[in-house]
Amino acid sequence: MKQITIDATMDNLPIVFDFLLQSLTECGASKSQMRQIKLCVEEIYINIVNYAYTPGKGKALITFDTVGEKDSPPVRAVISFTDRGAPFDPLSQEDPNTELGLDDTPIGGLGIFIVKETMDSVSYERRDDKNIFTMEKTIDLQAG
Amino acid sequence: MNFDKTPDGKTLTVELNGQIDSVNINDIEKELLEEVEGVTDLTFDMTNLEYISSAGLRVLLQMQKMMKKRGNMVIKNANGNVMDIFKVTGFVKLLNIV
């Protein structure tokens, strides 16, 4: 398992991206899928930046693990985010209504929904005063 | 991001490049709002846009709502990954994608 612990700030998003892309490259993910997962990682990380420690500061731990081997797929990527901020379950948010017209569609609130729709599974738990968000995706090996 | 505006200032094509994420969206939004002043026909060319997160979608939706009141907004050349996000979020119905 690989992991990084960083200050949960907006400026550190590129560090999070580097960590993720390096990990995904090593497990053989396609470029297209890397962008998909990157998107989900941004949404969850930014959530921590915006809500976990406001108005203070704190750390975020991000882990990347794989289940299965490249030689004998499927390989599943398991990515987790841990913070010690205020309790917050992003999955408790109601999904946006994507059937509404332009005038009725509110601006915002799409981030977590994108994650739920894109990843194979997502989960949240509050444990030892920590928020732990985990998401998983089966890797498309070098599919383009 | 590149801007191509007609001399009368009414038609603007915005070429989006690379990546739009939570870090650079504030600068992009600010620049866009300045450029679209007085524009009635706005086109986003996404040929070279590789990545857009929900931060970027928020601004696109805001622009679409604004342009509806005073003209027209069109999205063109969105690539596979960007189109996927438009589909997941229902933006294919909200934006004018050609």
pLDDT computed for residue A72 by the predictor: 79
Q: Are B31 and B1 in contact (CB under 8 A)?
A: yes
Nearest CA in chain A to B53: A39
| Across B19-48, average pLDDT | 97
| Top-confidence residue, A141 or A55 | A55
Q: Which domains does chain A have, with CATH numbers?
A: 2-138 (3.30.565.10)
| Top-confidence residue, A70 or A142 | A70
pLDDT computed for residue A141 by the predictor: 79
Structure tokens at B26: 């504030």
pLDDT digits (tens, 9 = 90+) for A113-132: 999 999 999 999 999 999 99
Query: Ramachandran region of residue A119, left (φ > 0), alpha (ψ -120 to 50) or beta?
Result: beta
From the candidate CATH numbers 3.30.410.40, 3.40.50.1100, 3.30.750.24, 1.10.3720.10, the one assigned to the domain spanning B2-94: 3.30.750.24
pLDDT computed for residue B7 by the predictor: 96
pLDDT computed for residue A70 by the predictor: 77
pLDDT, averaged across chain B: 96
Mutate to test the interface with B, among A21, A24, A39, A115 (most CBs of B within 10 A): A39
Each domain of chain B, given as residue ranges in start order, spans 2-94
Nearest to A38 by CA among A57, A20, A15: A20
- Res. A111: pLDDT tops 80: yes
pLDDT computed for residue A69 by the predictor: 82
Buried b (16+ CB within 10 A) or exposed e, B7-42: eeeebbbbbbeebbbbbebeebbeebeebbeebeeb
Q: Are residues A32 and B89, on separate chains, in Cβ contact within 8 Å?
A: no
Find the largest Cα–Cα distance for chain B.
38
pLDDT computed for residue A42 by the predictor: 98
Contacts of B43 (CB under 8 A, 6+ apart): B11, B12, B13, B14, B73, B74, B75, B76
pLDDT digits (tens, 9 = 90+) for A48-71: 999 999 989 999 999 999 998 877
pLDDT computed for residue B27 by the predictor: 97
Place of tokens 């696109």: B60
DSSP code of A128?
A: T
- What ipTM describes this predicted complex? 0.92
Range 95-114 of A in CB contact (< 8 A) with B: 96, 98-103, 105, 107-108, 110-111, 113-114
Q: How far apart are CA A48 and CA A60, in angstroms?
A: 8
pLDDT computed for residue A144 by the predictor: 44
- Res. A43: pLDDT tops 60: yes
Query: Which uninterrupted H or E stretch holds A135?
Result: strand A130-138
Q: Are residues B21 and A117, on separate chains, in Cβ contact within 8 Å?
A: no
| Across B63-90, average pLDDT | 96
Chain B environment of A32 (Cβ under 8 Å): 80-81
pLDDT computed for residue A142 by the predictor: 67
Q: Are B14 and B43 in contact (CB under 8 A)?
A: yes
pLDDT computed for residue B77 by the predictor: 98
CA atoms within 13 A on the CB side of A74: 8
CA atoms within 13 A on the CB side of B87: 9
| Top-confidence residue, A72 or B24 | B24
Structure tokens at A59: 């750390």
- Res. A73: pLDDT tops 70: yes
Chain B environment of A107 (Cβ under 8 Å): 58, 61-62, 65
Contacts of B38 (CB under 8 A, 6+ apart): B9, B10
CA distance B7 to chain A (A): 30
